[in-house]
Amino acid sequence: MMKIIDCVQGSPEWFAARCGVPTASNFDKLVCLDGKQSKQRTKYMYQLAGETITGIQEEGYQNANMLRGKEMEAEARQLYQLISGLEVQEVGFCLAEGYGASPDGIVAEKGLLELKCPILATHVGYLLSNSLPSEYFQQVQGQLLVTGREWVDFFSYYPGIKPMITRVVRDEKFLEILKKELKEFCKELKEVIKKIK
């Protein structure tokens, strides 16, 4: 059963909710696109074990483009609502079975929204491919696993050029692999935490 933790994404409360928890934005560190275990798995487990013990979540690297993208999310969300005619409910952190996700919005009865505001060249590439970029596959599928929802609208935005929107549905075969891996990962994580307490 999914629980929504009411907080503003990026706030101290949000970081506290995510601390020591495997999150969808890092599921690529657990499972590769081909369904095999990632080589980053052990390092990610140690990071989460350390966070659980210390209560401190180290912030990842953010360059100027990433910060600019975050600042443009509200504008992108409004445009998505205008184009789609759908209302977006912002959420803090969604937690289910020991792992979580922070989608950029809940849409209608069955959907989610994932916003990206990349640099211009990247956005043009997204427009040309008109499909979910492979680097976000695990994140988006992970959001569907955590929330139990049926689809995610992936929305890429850059001012002055048309947006790219693509609907991504559940990949049940991949979700089965991911769920199994998460169950094992969470079990191992608890064991590591016990050993270092």
The CATH number of the domain holding residue 120 is 3.90.320.10
Distance in Å from the first CA to the final CA of the chain: 29
Work out the mean pLDDT of the chain and round it to a whole number. Answer: 93
Q: Which amino acid is at 169?
A: V
Taking residues 108-113, what's their average pLDDT? 96
pLDDT tens across 120-146, in order? Answer: 999 999 999 999 999 999 999 999 999
Beta pairing partners, 152? 112, 168
How far apart CA 35 and CA 169 sit, in angstroms, is: 17
pLDDT of 65 > 80? The answer is: no
What count of other Cβ atoms lies within 10 Å of the Cβ of residue 170? 16
By CB atoms closer than 10 A (0-12, 13-18, 19+), residue 23 is: buried
- Look up the domain containing 63 and give its range: 3-196
Beta pairing partners, 111? 107, 151
CB 189 within 8 A of CB 197: no
pLDDT score for 56: 86
The SS3 call for residue 57 is: coil
Q: Which of 29, 104, 103, 112 is nearest to 73 (CA)?
A: 104
Residue 158 tokens, joined = 């850059």
Give the number of domains in the chain. 1
pLDDT score for 71: 79
The model's pTM is 0.93
